[in-house]
A and B are shown apart, each in its own frame.
Chain A
């Protein structure tokens, strides 16, 4: 029961701060799709929008293009949560972290934004400087899980 690892490209990312914009999720650690863009709740006044530009949020208190601030890894397969359990202290059981949920957490020693688009798919957004480290760590865990009882 293992998982496959990929690095899907991310087009654009925008940090939106202050009061929630129309359609933005307000429940902690949830996501919503607004005008075709995924919006992740990162804090009471902080959202990450996948797609778009700063100019798209004229009503926000603060908007920052952060397209180069994070890259993505994706774990797909029934063992995806098992892989992360080797380094992520969050409870990723579907009852506690169902599809549509997101969180800011640690995987090994890298800060990540974790998102579960589907039951057997987990996306990790990580600073590019940490990406080689996280990739090595994920590869090591995947290698070990392949051969472990």
Chain B
């Protein structure tokens, strides 16, 4: 096999690591230290390697001691710092596994443990690749609560393993003695010097003793104690379900060489080669008054390299203890944290990248929207049409056309992502009374009610329409982005506070697709399609009817989020395309997206929870004090309305702004062009076709009392003047909701 290192070609044998091949070829140097630029070379034969780090294509900080040579390998030496190379890589796998016994380590103790294991076995080793192992060349990088082990198999896949029992047979690693010039190329730990086939006289082996690999034990909060015989920390005490065996416990390791700091150039006595930290650096840290090893670590950076001080940490304890004149055991050790070996980010990301980074949720009408040129907007995880531009239209033109259609003709919106919760049971009314601010006893079957839900601090949490579909049955709608949170909120109260209530909640968000048919022409358009009488007296505002639309069983609500006459038609999600197409075939119908929906509702001063509210806004602040019942019993948030801060009159209140130019959303509102203190901010801002001008909604301190005054909004580099007005800017008398002649 041939490979290239630093541009020079060499030969290698089957099974060689890059480190073994380099040393056999007499390349004992070839690397540089990160900060001082000292010549360095291969020092170890395992994951504790501090110096022989290489770049292989897009892979960085690869330890030459862990890299198998393949024919044609090209490796570049790195001086302690990695290099990110953007590269299109196949996604790495992430795999879950489960076992009765997980053995980490394929050495002698690991073999014994694996042979004795009962049940399902996972047996892995980072260095070895023997066929008996279930996972060769696989590093256990993290041991978490309840024996949750994360392991990296080569650079191919990340394993997430749940094990009933974990056996740590991780062995020990040899360290360098702390002597002058212990970082010179050709100076190796003794076991590595003996194992590599170096040319005669090319390397010298030194041993500073052996350090048990206790990282996983320590990660899992296992205690450590200093073992004087081997001069290293060993596992102490017990961990449920975790066991250390073999030399990982210190057992069977040779005695450490007698330790004493030798006289010599302390600036060339390296403790952590990977960070160029020497005895002189440690002495400086202690002279500065640092005593805790954790502080010394941060001051000197010893142990903070990508190898986390596997080679040098025990030496750092020995040196610090001697300089302080204390026993090493008194100093303790630094905390070990995952990952044990570096994990490439692509392995962490796994398949959660590109198109699969996050689910894109689509409605049953998604293909229709796509075929009709929808420009998308992400709403939570949902993909929704923002607008449908005709050829040559930009967003402003398309939105203006869609708004005009809703105000003057017929327009439809796919409102299917609205959250929907079926509430059923004899205590359904009671649950709704306790969770919403308004009361539901008086809501008749076949009627809808707009409703607001607050958190316990009295702030608006969500809003929607509650339909009474039966004596003991309701369907509540939620805002699109909040559907899961509202259901979880309702379940939390029901299950933890009011388990005695006999009521059950079921998400029916996707059971029902919702098509909003909006505009003064909507009644005439739908009438031939349905058996439900739609006349203004037969089907009152906030009424609810069941019937058939375009041959499809439907639940129709006469609600409006635009101020216009509107019917929201709910049908089985699987049949919604048929409904949508029948409506579009019945006349001149304009589909509209979320942008026009926003403009239409803002013109009417209808707030959007999460846009015009931010968790600090009460129903009263929104001008909706009428929705907070004063007569029914207790409900979530009620107590807070009596708090002085919630009840004061000068809170930020929702108002309308009529500015001289379109305002940026989020702009601060001030009392004069030179005022320094903001009195509020813009929450929604659009251009209105119906008003023929830009307008905005804003939350302004004591806003309702300021109606009729002039304010200024800070916009890029200056101010824009605006009239502060009420929040309902279009059809304030509500004349249009029952329809007007087309």
Indicate whether A17 reaches chain B with its CB closer than 8 angstroms.
Answer: yes
Cβ B510 vs Cβ A129 within 8 A: yes
List residues of chain A with CB within 8 A of the CB of B422.
Answer: 62, 64
Indicate whether B676 reaches chain A with its CB closer than 8 angstroms.
Answer: no
Indicate whether A28 reaches chain B with its CB closer than 8 angstroms.
Answer: no
Indicate whether A21 reaches chain B with its CB closer than 8 angstroms.
Answer: no
Which residues of B in the span 56-107 have a Cβ within 8 Å of any Cβ on A?
A: 90-91, 93-98
Instruction: Give the B interface residue count (CB, 8 A).
Output: 41
In the bound complex, CA of A91 to CA of B382 (Å): 30
| Chain B residue with the shortest CB-CB distance to A13 | B511
Cβ A87 vs Cβ B351 within 8 A: yes
Indicate whether A2 reaches chain B with its CB closer than 8 angstroms.
Answer: no
- Contact mask for chain B residues 502-513; partner A; CB cutoff 8 A; 1 contact, 0 none: 111011111111
Cβ A136 vs Cβ B361 within 8 A: no
Cβ A86 vs Cβ B506 within 8 A: no
List residues of chain B with CB within 8 A of the CB of A104.
Answer: none
Instruction: Give the A interface residue count (CB, 8 A).
Output: 40
Across the interface, B504 reaches (CB within 8 A) one of A45, A128, A148, namely A45
Given A64-B508, A93-B120, are A128 and B573 neighbors across the interface (CB < 8 Å)? yes
Cβ A65 vs Cβ B94 within 8 A: no
List residues of chain A with CB within 8 A of the CB of B160.
Answer: 89
Indicate whether A127 reaches chain B with its CB closer than 8 angstroms.
Answer: yes
Indicate whether A96 reaches chain B with its CB closer than 8 angstroms.
Answer: yes
Indicate whether A109 reaches chain B with its CB closer than 8 angstroms.
Answer: yes
Given A129-B382, A140-B356, are A61 and B504 neighbors across the interface (CB < 8 Å)? yes
Cβ B506 vs Cβ A68 within 8 A: no
Across the interface, B361 reaches (CB within 8 A) one of A17, A86, A133, A144, namely A133
Given A88-B96, A91-B162, A128-B364, are A68 and B359 neighbors across the interface (CB < 8 Å)? no
Indicate whether B691 reaches chain A with its CB closer than 8 angstroms.
Answer: no
In the bound complex, CA of A129 to CA of B356 (Å): 14
- A66 CB, min distance to chain B CBs, angstroms: 5
Indicate whether A4 reaches chain B with its CB closer than 8 angstroms.
Answer: no
Indicate whether A76 reaches chain B with its CB closer than 8 angstroms.
Answer: no
List residues of chain B with CB within 8 A of the CB of A45.
Answer: 504
Cβ A66 vs Cβ B506 within 8 A: yes
Indicate whether A122 reaches chain B with its CB closer than 8 angstroms.
Answer: no
- A62 CB, min distance to chain B CBs, angstroms: 4
- A113 CB, min distance to chain B CBs, angstroms: 13
List residues of chain B with CB within 8 A of the CB of A93.
Answer: 98, 120
Indicate whether B362 reaches chain A with its CB closer than 8 angstroms.
Answer: yes
Across the interface, B508 reaches (CB within 8 A) one of A63, A66, A86, A130, namely A66
List residues of chain B with CB within 8 A of the CB of A140.
Answer: 91, 351, 356
In the bound complex, CA of A99 to CA of B473 (Å): 36
Indicate whether B538 reaches chain A with its CB closer than 8 angstroms.
Answer: no
In the bound complex, CA of A61 to CA of B425 (Å): 6
Rank and list the top 4 A-B pairs by shortest CB-CB distance, nearest first.
A62-B424, A129-B361, A17-B504, A62-B504
A-B pairs with beta carbons under 8 Å apart, 24 shown: A18-B425, A61-B424, A61-B425, A61-B504, A62-B424, A66-B506, A66-B511, A68-B512, A68-B573, A69-B510, A69-B511, A85-B96, A85-B97, A86-B93, A87-B351, A88-B96, A91-B162, A108-B352, A133-B359, A134-B359, A136-B355, A137-B351, A140-B91, A140-B351
